[in-house]
Structure 1
Amino acid sequence: MTSPLRVILGAAAPLALSVGAGVAVRLAATSLLGNQATAELAAFALAGAVLGPVTAAVAGGLRGLTPFVAPDRDRPAAALPVLRDARWLALLLGASGAGVVLCVPLVASAGGVPGEVTAALGVLPPLLAAHVLLLAAGGGANGTLVALGHARQVLWPGLTGTAAEVLLLVALVPRLGVAGAGVALVAGTAVAVAIANGRLARVTGLSGRALWPGRPRPREILRMAGVGLPMSAALVVKFAALAAVAWAAARTGTHGAAAYAILVSLDGPLGLAAFTAGQAAAPEVARAASPAAARRVNRAALAVAVAGVLAGAAVLGLAGEDVLGLFGSDGRVRAAATGLLPLLTVFSLANACAIVMSASLTGLRRPAWSLGSAVAGYGPLALVAAPVAAAWGLSGLWCALTACAVLVLGLQTWGFVRYSARR
């Protein structure tokens, strides 16, 4: 029998290349904006802090289809109604999320963000809203490919969309600033969504069949929503708290907001292995026939996640100054970010393991536990972010973030051990 580690690595490797390309393009956008103007980098981070929970809500809702699709891996046609149900759910979430993103300038003005940062937003919010709608239109094509055992097919939409976005970033950001970054994101997303659905349409058993929503089936949609929406809500709680932290960082000044943006960008590569291992683990946990099998899959995914964080931390430890130099020449921003790299590593390690645990709970169809854990950990973080930033600055914020991640990991581990025993 194939070992769980080989199964996870086999699915996670193409996912890592695809998602890693997306992380690289976020770093490229941050670097280009950081070398252009500190205010524009801060505006990009501010809008991204709102975009994070919105896209997480859409993606989380779609992850609810994984435990329903995975058991039909050997007969993909049986999964087609589930995919159509998921697309109705995604369209509802996407329309709501786009409306939230459009409100970023109003919330920024009311929240005390410096005027130069708010003014630098420009047309970025409408462009990000278009990005959210395109993600929803994708309807979970990538997640379905992974659940059906075709993870390698995810490479093509990811790499092609990233290539289009990078070309446009290089061409547009020097002339248009954050608006150029928004245009590049929308174009890259459109390319990726189109190719992902094209690849899904070629899967044996789905070829020649309509993938788009037909007549809605309310009962089945609600059944999937029972798994997807708690997962979506958990991600919203998490990213909303992170948005509150970003808001608190922005209120410390332009330099603090820019340093926070750099650290958040670096967290992306550190957590890449965890995100892809979690995506690979969820369908395998859903297919597991016993508690022992589910736990073996979970341990293998955790091993991949931890290895990814430690490898990234080693690179930052050896070449931290050079890496930070890619994000601009502002000495105050670089100094603030450099001093917080150790805290970033600890946070990323705990957060990576929590991502895997959350995915495993989704595979068990127990995302409500992930939601409860997120509320218990990230709820208090959102409440204390502003006073902590006022008292202790960025270092205080990152200490609070790290403590929160450790608490959430502990709660999710308890939940997984409890529910996997009932498998």
Structure 2
Amino acid sequence: MLLSDARQIGRVALPLYLSMVAVSLSALVTTAALGRFGTQALAGFAVTTAVYFPAMAAVSGAVRGVMPFVAAKADDPPGLLRVVRDGTWLAVFVGVPAALAVACVPLIARAGGVPAATVAQLGPFPLLMAAGVLFNAFGSTATSSLVGLGRGKVVMRAGLAGAACTALLSPLLVWKLGLTGAGIALCTANLVSCLITVSGLLRRLPGRPELTVHFGQIVELAKVGLPMAGTVLVKFAVLGVLTVAAARVSATAAAAHNIATGLVSLTFTAAVAIGQAVVPLVSTRTEGVRRAVGAGLAITTATLSVICAIIVLGGVHRLFTDDPAVLAAVAHLPALMVLVVLADGVQAVLGFALAGLKRTTPSFVVFALCYGVLAVVAVPSAEYGLTGLWVALAAANLAVAMGQGLAFSKASNL
């Protein structure tokens, strides 16, 4: 039975992971194109994405609360239509404020003391990215619904199509239009992904959802989704504190930290894909929940170990810089990076398991407490250099994993 669960999780997780990797790699194309176009354009991109990426992550996290409800109603056509309807309205209620935040980037930048030349460079770029946030809200709701129904291949096609749009359009449009061209490319990519996932979901529904608003049922979805969004925001905020702490050490430490963080983030997406694939199994069972989560943890540990081995033994960090000092700094971190990734992967799967049980608030509390402590000790830890900072991060992730495990153990006994 454990092997059967593992195969089922793998069938859903693999397409999701391939989609995430494709999107991550395509984003590098935009960064490279802007870097070649001009420093001011790249600076404007960085200022906008400082708001855009957390907004996108928060929206995606909020609508992931739809997954267990969709999975539970897979064999109940009227119930499934109600969940999709309510999930769509949830996308509106979380997507609009997030899009407004991105649209206000010029105001935020001026208030934060960003140089006027950089703010002037923004043009319509924040508005295009705000539209992308709205497209992503609807697309993420459809994605969560498809994952709940075990339809990962549709999500993969959407991700690959969006990544292809970014990779093809960004170099061409940035060369002609600069930062505005990057905005058009990214907005188009979000729109294409949204259309594919929404149309894919509609083809698998037994009818068309109504447009009426039922606030009580939307609140039920939000009770599961919003703590997940809160977890993402806490993580973004504290990792930002760690970046500042690394920058206080030296420019070399900051560069090494960014390279290590980028490698860890790319590896961690595998755990997110596997965790999402666990949700339908957990939310539709009265027995065998722990077995399903055990299978997810086994796959996660094995997958992350293989990816970490490739990164460490293959010297992947050398692709990011040829500075000997930075390379030497990163070379001291592999063991800690592996520990950070494995602990983060375990806690992610357990967090998604709690989402499958519709009990995400304990997960958020655990994460907020552990990462809150990490935020406090980040600067003192950096007194011991980059190693001290990563020891603190590893300890925080281990604490989160233990806390998530205890929360899941209690919730799965209810």
Alignment gaps of 5+ in structure 1: none
In structure 2, the CA distance between the partners of 1:49 and 1:400, relative to structure 1 (3 Å rule), is farther
Q: Which amino acid aligns with 2:100?
A: G
Identify the residue that residue 318 of structure 1 maps to in structure 2: 313
Identical positions, percent: 40
C-alpha RMSD over aligned residues? 3.2
CA positional deviation for 1:359: 0.2
Q: Structure 1: how far apart are the matches of 2:106 and 2:335?
A: 33
1: CA distance, partners of 2:173 / 2:352: 37
Q: Distance in 1 between matches of 2:41 and 2:385?
A: 21
Q: Distance in 2 between matches of 1:281 and 1:172?
A: 39
Residue of 393, 402, 409 corresponding to 2:401: 409
User: Could you tell me whether the CA contact under 8 Å between 1:31 and 1:328 is conserved in 2?
Assistant: no
* 2:72 match: 71
1:271 equivalent in alignment to 2:264: no
Q: CA deviation at 1:197?
A: 0.7
Structure 2: tracts of 5 or more residues without a match: none
Q: Post-superposition shift, 1:225?
A: 1.4
Matches within 5 A, 1:62-101: 62-101=63-102
Matched, 1:245 2:242: yes
Q: TM-score, normalised by structure 1?
A: 0.85
> Which amino acid in 2 is paired with 1:160?
A
Please tell me whether residue 385 in structure 1 is matched to residue 381 in structure 2.
Answer: no
After superposition, the Cα gap between the structure-2 partners of 1:41 and 1:288, relative to the gap in structure 1 and judged at 3 Å, is farther
Alpha-carbon separation, structure 2, partners of 1:27 and 1:71? 38
User: Hey, what does 1:217 align to over in structure 2?
Assistant: 214
TM-fit CA distance, 1:98: 2.6
1:157 and 1:405 map into 2 onto residues whose CA distance is: 31
Greater mean alpha carbon deviation, residues 104-113 or residues 239-248: 104-113
TM-aligned CA deviation for residue 26 of structure 1 = 3.3
Letter in 1 for 2:153: R
Q: Pairwise mapping of residues 269-308 of structure 1 onto structure 2 (< 5 A)?
A: 269-290=266-287, 293-308=288-303
State the shift of 1:420 in Å: 0.6
Q: What is the aligned length?
A: 412
- 1:99-178 correspondence runs (5 A): 99-102=100-103, 122=122, 125-138=126-139, 140-172=141-173
Among 357, 360, 369, which residue is 1:364 paired with? 357
Q: Using the TM superposition, give the Cα deviation of residue 67 of structure 1 relative to its aligned residue in structure 2, in angstroms.
A: 1.6
1:339 deviates by 3.7
CA–CA distance in structure 2, aligned partners of residues 386 and 106 of structure 1: 29
Residues 64 and 228 in structure 1, CA contact (< 8 A), matched pair in contact too: yes
What displacement does 1:147 show?
0.9
| Residues 351-398 of structure 1: CA deviation (Å, up to 9, x unaligned) | 111110100000011101111111111122233434544x34544433
Pick from 326, 347, 350: which aligns with 2:343?
Answer: 350
Instruction: Check conservation: 1:87, 1:139, Cα contact below 8 A.
Output: no
Aligned pair in 2 of structure 1 residues 77, 268: CA closer, same or farther (>3 Å)? farther
The alpha carbon displacement at 1:28 in A equals 4.2
1:27 deviates by 4.3
Shift of 1:277: 0.8
Contact 1:269 1:312 in 2 (8 A): no
Quick one: which amino acid aligns to residue 367 of structure 2?
A
Rounded Cα–Cα distance in structure 2 between residues aligned with 1:252 and 1:120: 32
